[in-house]
Amino acid sequence: MLHVDMDSFYASGAERDDPSLKGKAVVVGAGVRGVVLSANYLARTFGIHAAMPVGRAQRLAPHAIFITPEHARYGEISEHIMEIFRSYTPHVEPISLDEAFLDVTGSRRLLGTGRQIATAIRAKVEEQEGITCSVGIAPSKFIAKLASSRCKPNGMLEIPTDRILNFLHPLPVSAIWGVGAKTNEALERLGLRTVADVANTPRATLI
Protein backbone atom coordinates (compact mmCIF):
# COMPACT_ATOMS: atom_id res chain seq x y z
CA MET A 1 0.00 0.00 0.00
CA LEU A 2 1.08 3.56 -0.72
CA HIS A 3 -0.27 6.61 1.05
CA VAL A 4 0.44 9.65 -1.11
CA ASP A 5 -0.04 13.04 0.53
CA MET A 6 0.58 16.39 -1.16
CA ASP A 7 2.80 18.82 0.73
CA SER A 8 0.80 21.91 1.86
CA PHE A 9 -1.45 21.27 -1.14
CA TYR A 10 -3.43 24.52 -1.36
CA ALA A 11 -0.44 26.76 -0.69
CA SER A 12 1.66 24.72 -3.13
CA GLY A 13 -1.06 25.08 -5.74
CA ALA A 14 -1.03 28.85 -5.27
CA GLU A 15 2.76 28.92 -5.65
CA ARG A 16 2.52 26.80 -8.78
CA ASP A 17 0.08 29.26 -10.36
CA ASP A 18 2.05 32.32 -9.21
CA PRO A 19 5.81 31.59 -9.17
CA SER A 20 6.47 35.00 -7.54
CA LEU A 21 5.23 33.44 -4.28
CA LYS A 22 8.16 31.00 -4.14
CA GLY A 23 10.37 31.59 -1.12
CA LYS A 24 7.68 33.59 0.71
CA ALA A 25 5.40 32.69 3.60
CA VAL A 26 2.09 31.79 1.97
CA VAL A 27 -1.20 31.23 3.80
CA VAL A 28 -4.44 30.19 2.13
CA GLY A 29 -7.47 31.46 4.02
CA ALA A 30 -10.21 34.03 3.50
CA GLY A 31 -11.21 36.93 5.75
CA VAL A 32 -10.06 37.84 9.24
CA ARG A 33 -12.90 35.73 10.67
CA GLY A 34 -12.13 32.77 8.43
CA VAL A 35 -9.74 29.91 9.14
CA VAL A 36 -6.44 28.89 7.58
CA LEU A 37 -6.95 26.22 4.94
CA SER A 38 -3.24 25.67 4.29
CA ALA A 39 0.13 27.24 5.07
CA ASN A 40 3.40 26.50 3.32
CA TYR A 41 6.32 25.26 5.36
CA LEU A 42 7.91 28.69 5.68
CA ALA A 43 4.67 30.09 7.13
CA ARG A 44 4.52 27.18 9.56
CA THR A 45 7.82 28.23 11.11
CA PHE A 46 5.89 31.20 12.57
CA GLY A 47 3.42 28.87 14.28
CA ILE A 48 0.71 29.04 11.62
CA HIS A 49 -1.26 25.86 10.96
CA ALA A 50 -4.46 24.67 9.29
CA ALA A 51 -7.76 25.47 11.05
CA MET A 52 -6.18 28.45 12.86
CA PRO A 53 -8.20 31.68 12.68
CA VAL A 54 -6.86 33.87 9.88
CA GLY A 55 -6.75 36.88 12.23
CA ARG A 56 -4.39 35.04 14.58
CA ALA A 57 -2.23 33.92 11.66
CA GLN A 58 -1.96 37.54 10.50
CA ARG A 59 -0.76 38.56 13.95
CA LEU A 60 1.84 35.78 14.00
CA ALA A 61 3.20 36.65 10.54
CA PRO A 62 1.94 40.04 9.33
CA HIS A 63 4.43 39.90 6.45
CA ALA A 64 2.98 36.63 5.09
CA ILE A 65 0.97 36.60 1.88
CA PHE A 66 -2.67 35.67 2.50
CA ILE A 67 -4.55 34.20 -0.45
CA THR A 68 -8.27 33.65 -0.94
CA PRO A 69 -9.04 29.96 -1.56
CA GLU A 70 -9.91 28.94 -5.12
CA HIS A 71 -11.73 25.67 -4.55
CA ALA A 72 -12.51 25.00 -8.20
CA ARG A 73 -8.84 25.32 -9.04
CA TYR A 74 -7.81 22.95 -6.24
CA GLY A 75 -10.35 20.42 -7.51
CA GLU A 76 -8.89 20.66 -11.00
CA ILE A 77 -5.32 20.09 -9.77
CA SER A 78 -6.55 17.21 -7.58
CA GLU A 79 -8.17 15.47 -10.54
CA HIS A 80 -4.93 15.72 -12.50
CA ILE A 81 -3.09 14.13 -9.58
CA MET A 82 -5.64 11.33 -9.23
CA GLU A 83 -5.24 10.62 -12.96
CA ILE A 84 -1.50 10.19 -12.37
CA PHE A 85 -2.24 7.75 -9.55
CA ARG A 86 -4.64 5.77 -11.74
CA SER A 87 -1.97 5.46 -14.41
CA TYR A 88 -0.02 3.28 -11.96
CA THR A 89 -2.90 1.28 -10.44
CA PRO A 90 -6.68 1.13 -10.81
CA HIS A 91 -6.96 0.69 -7.04
CA VAL A 92 -6.95 4.33 -5.90
CA GLU A 93 -8.86 5.35 -2.77
CA PRO A 94 -8.96 9.16 -2.40
CA ILE A 95 -9.26 10.39 1.20
CA SER A 96 -9.47 14.07 0.30
CA LEU A 97 -8.43 16.36 -2.54
CA ASP A 98 -4.77 16.01 -1.63
CA GLU A 99 -4.24 12.45 -0.42
CA ALA A 100 -5.06 8.90 -1.41
CA PHE A 101 -4.26 5.26 -0.78
CA LEU A 102 -2.92 3.25 -3.70
CA ASP A 103 -2.87 -0.53 -3.70
CA VAL A 104 0.04 -1.33 -6.02
CA THR A 105 0.18 -5.07 -5.29
CA GLY A 106 -0.83 -5.97 -8.83
CA SER A 107 1.38 -3.34 -10.44
CA ARG A 108 4.70 -4.63 -9.16
CA ARG A 109 5.28 -7.21 -11.87
CA LEU A 110 5.20 -4.52 -14.57
CA LEU A 111 6.33 -1.41 -12.68
CA GLY A 112 8.76 -2.64 -10.03
CA THR A 113 8.79 -2.49 -6.24
CA GLY A 114 6.57 -0.27 -4.13
CA ARG A 115 9.52 2.06 -3.63
CA GLN A 116 10.17 2.26 -7.37
CA ILE A 117 6.51 3.00 -8.07
CA ALA A 118 6.41 5.65 -5.33
CA THR A 119 9.56 7.27 -6.74
CA ALA A 120 8.02 7.40 -10.21
CA ILE A 121 4.75 8.87 -8.90
CA ARG A 122 6.55 11.58 -6.93
CA ALA A 123 8.62 12.55 -9.97
CA LYS A 124 5.58 12.64 -12.27
CA VAL A 125 3.49 14.74 -9.88
CA GLU A 126 6.28 17.28 -9.52
CA GLU A 127 7.03 17.36 -13.24
CA GLN A 128 3.41 17.59 -14.38
CA GLU A 129 1.79 19.59 -11.57
CA GLY A 130 4.73 21.51 -10.12
CA ILE A 131 4.07 20.43 -6.53
CA THR A 132 5.67 17.85 -4.26
CA CYS A 133 4.23 14.95 -2.31
CA SER A 134 5.28 12.58 0.43
CA VAL A 135 4.71 8.83 0.23
CA GLY A 136 4.45 6.17 2.89
CA ILE A 137 4.95 2.56 1.75
CA ALA A 138 3.81 -0.33 3.92
CA PRO A 139 1.85 -3.62 3.95
CA SER A 140 -1.30 -1.81 5.22
CA LYS A 141 -3.06 1.53 4.82
CA PHE A 142 -2.72 2.34 8.51
CA ILE A 143 1.07 1.98 8.55
CA ALA A 144 1.46 3.66 5.15
CA LYS A 145 -0.41 6.74 6.39
CA LEU A 146 1.73 6.92 9.53
CA ALA A 147 4.86 6.56 7.40
CA SER A 148 3.92 9.43 5.06
CA SER A 149 3.33 11.73 8.04
CA ARG A 150 6.85 10.95 9.25
CA CYS A 151 8.65 11.88 6.02
CA LYS A 152 7.14 15.27 5.17
CA PRO A 153 7.81 17.37 3.28
CA ASN A 154 8.81 15.86 -0.05
CA GLY A 155 9.95 12.53 1.37
CA MET A 156 9.41 8.80 1.12
CA LEU A 157 9.44 6.20 3.89
CA GLU A 158 9.02 2.45 3.52
CA ILE A 159 8.09 0.27 6.48
CA PRO A 160 8.46 -3.44 5.62
CA THR A 161 6.63 -6.06 7.65
CA ASP A 162 9.64 -6.94 9.81
CA ARG A 163 10.09 -3.30 10.87
CA ILE A 164 6.51 -2.41 11.75
CA LEU A 165 6.82 -2.85 15.52
CA ASN A 166 10.17 -1.02 15.64
CA PHE A 167 8.53 1.84 13.74
CA LEU A 168 5.32 1.95 15.77
CA HIS A 169 6.45 1.49 19.36
CA PRO A 170 8.40 4.76 19.87
CA LEU A 171 5.58 6.88 18.39
CA PRO A 172 3.37 8.97 20.69
CA VAL A 173 -0.14 7.57 21.11
CA SER A 174 -1.46 10.71 19.39
CA ALA A 175 0.11 9.43 16.15
CA ILE A 176 -2.40 6.59 16.00
CA TRP A 177 -5.05 7.31 13.38
CA GLY A 178 -8.27 7.94 15.32
CA VAL A 179 -6.70 9.03 18.60
CA GLY A 180 -7.90 12.59 19.07
CA ALA A 181 -7.15 15.10 21.81
CA LYS A 182 -9.58 13.63 24.36
CA THR A 183 -8.47 10.04 23.89
CA ASN A 184 -4.85 11.17 24.04
CA GLU A 185 -5.51 12.92 27.35
CA ALA A 186 -7.24 9.83 28.75
CA LEU A 187 -4.35 7.58 27.75
CA GLU A 188 -1.76 9.96 29.17
CA ARG A 189 -3.62 10.06 32.48
CA LEU A 190 -3.08 6.30 32.59
CA GLY A 191 0.62 6.79 31.87
CA LEU A 192 0.27 5.51 28.30
CA ARG A 193 2.30 7.95 26.25
CA THR A 194 3.75 5.81 23.46
CA VAL A 195 2.41 3.06 21.24
CA ALA A 196 4.72 0.66 23.10
CA ASP A 197 3.03 1.62 26.38
CA VAL A 198 -0.34 0.66 24.91
CA ALA A 199 1.01 -2.50 23.29
CA ASN A 200 2.46 -3.66 26.61
CA THR A 201 -0.74 -3.05 28.58
CA PRO A 202 -3.07 -6.03 29.05
CA ARG A 203 -6.14 -5.89 26.82
CA ALA A 204 -8.47 -6.22 29.81
CA THR A 205 -6.87 -3.17 31.42
CA LEU A 206 -7.33 -1.13 28.24
CA ILE A 207 -10.99 -2.13 28.01
CB-CB neighbours of 85 under 10 Å: 22
Q: Which of 31-40, 42-51, 104-113 has the lowest mean pLDDT?
A: 31-40
Q: What is the mean pLDDT of the chain?
A: 95
- 129 catalytic per annotation: no
| Residue 128: per-residue pLDDT | 96
Judged against a pLDDT cut of 80, whether residue 44 lies above it is answered with yes
Judged against a pLDDT cut of 80, whether residue 32 lies above it is answered with no
| Residue 206: per-residue pLDDT | 86
For 74, residues 6+ apart whose C-beta sits below 8 A from its C-beta are 9, 10, 13, 97
Judged against a pLDDT cut of 90, whether residue 177 lies above it is answered with no
CB 44 within 8 A of CB 32: no
| Residue 94: per-residue pLDDT | 97
Alpha helices in the chain (DSSP H): 9-17, 41-44, 54-60, 71-86, 108-111, 114-129, 141-149, 164-168, 181-189, 195-199, 203-206
pTM for the whole thing? 0.90
pLDDT in tens, 79-129: 999 999 999 999 999 999 999 999 999 999 999 999 999 999 999 999 999
Q: Which residue among the candidates 70, 79, 93, 99 is catalytic per the annotation?
A: 99
| % of the chain with per-residue pLDDT over 70 | 100
Task: Classify residue 90 by its DSSP letter.
Answer: S
Give the mean model confidence (pLDDT) for residues 30-58.
92
CB 40 within 8 A of CB 26: yes
